[in-house]
Amino acid sequence: MKYAKLGKSDLTVSRICMGCMGFGDSSNGQHGWTLDESASREIIKYGLKNGINFYDTAIAYQNGTSEQFVGRALRDFGKRDDFVIATKFLPRSQEEIEKNVSGQKHIENSLNQSLKNLGLDYVDLYIYHMWDYHTPMEEIMEGLHEVVKAGKARYVGISNCFAWQLAKANFYARENGLTEFVSIQGHYNLIAREEEREMAPFCYDQNIAMTPYSALASGRLSKKPGETSARLEKDAYAKFKYDKTADSDNLIIERVMEIAEKKGVSMTEVSLAWLLTKVTSPVVGATKRSHVDGAVKAVDLVLSEEEIDCLEELYVPHALAGVMAQNGKQMAGNVV
């Protein structure tokens, strides 16, 4: 395993971040394909053994049971300094808005619950899961600064936002002596490259780490066309993100397959090796040991310039999908 600094922070993270959305009580949350605690522990233990020290979860994953599974496993299998743990908080609920719960109080309450779920005194990275259009940005930045000052979070990151929003938030924090975001977790992979338009150049300029989710397009970039899995069959959200562009995406996936066969490696290794030329640490979900193996091997795989060009040349612009599409609609609705 290789390691890197997370943007401007002093956190040293593995070049692969284990995404923990696949861990949690499958009967208690959004996804029905998640691993139970015993199976989750085995994957986390195997990840640690292979040098992965960076783990990403969220209070929203299976109603907090992902945090519970991950926290117990990391505490049992490693010392606190052996791992970097990130978790995420959601926007204020409608009930909180109606009760006038401030953004600052919402962040404090959310992190306290996450720390209880994880069984930890602090998290290394606390991530704003998606932009809250019903809460002043100033309240969010001030609330995040307070939990850092309190020692409950070492650094803060953001997910699912536009480049201008990240710039606005960080410049506000800089002008007011508050904590800035050190990382962005956006939707970025070989068949979803819209982050390259504005987000990536801004992050490179500002030394903000990119730790993208959906690094393998929910498994699409690791399987030959026609192959399937439980997640591909059951993950309705992933279908929403990718089904509309399947025809053009499959042309790129076929090139991944061809290069993998030529080099004698897996499609996972090729897809992640490409992404690792662009970002600090992609978030890679793992529900089998083989998923961990492929991700770890990708760190050492070197693609030639010709292979990178081959993988990139067929990309066509994609409409925003998932949370980012919803964000676009929110912005349009706020225009007067």
Q: How far is CA 187 from CA 113, 145, 159, in A?
A: 26, 26, 9
Q: What is the mean pLDDT of the chain?
A: 93
Query: How far are the Cα atoms of 8, 18, 188 from residue 44, in angstroms, in the given order?
Result: 27, 8, 24
> Can you give the pLDDT at residue 169?
98
Whole-structure pTM value: 0.93
Residue 176: predicted pLDDT: 98
Residue 77 clears pLDDT 80, i.e. is over it: yes
The phi, psi pair for 104, rounded to 5°, reads -60, -45
Position 266 pLDDT exceeds 90: yes
* Position 177 pLDDT exceeds 50: yes
- Residue 270, H or E segment: helix 267-276
pLDDT number for residue 227: 74
Q: Which of 3, 46, 55, 61 is catalytic?
A: 61
Give the tens place of pLDDT for each residue, 213-232. 999 998 999 988 777 665 55
pLDDT tens digits for range 111-160: 999 999 999 999 999 999 999 999 999 999 999 999 999 999 999 999 99
Average pLDDT (9-21) is 98
Phi-psi region of 128 (alpha: psi -120 to 50; beta: other; left: phi over 0): beta
Tokens 């201008």 locate to 164
Q: Is 237 a catalytic residue?
A: no
Ordered DSSP codes for 124-172? EEEEE-S--TTS-HHHHHHHHHHHHHTTSEEEEEEES--HHHHHHHHHH
- Does the structure show a pLDDT above 60 at 268? yes
* Paired tokens of 158: 């953001």
Mean pLDDT of 74-89: 97
Res 233: pLDDT: 60
Token pair 């998290």 in the structure block, residue: 123
Q: What is the pLDDT of residues 281-334, one digit of tens each?
A: 999 999 999 999 999 999 999 999 999 999 999 999 988 877 887 777 776 666
* Full set of structural domains in the chain with CATH: 3-334 (3.20.20.100)
Report the C-alpha gap between 304 and 275 in whole angstroms.
Answer: 13
pLDDT mean over 92-100: 97
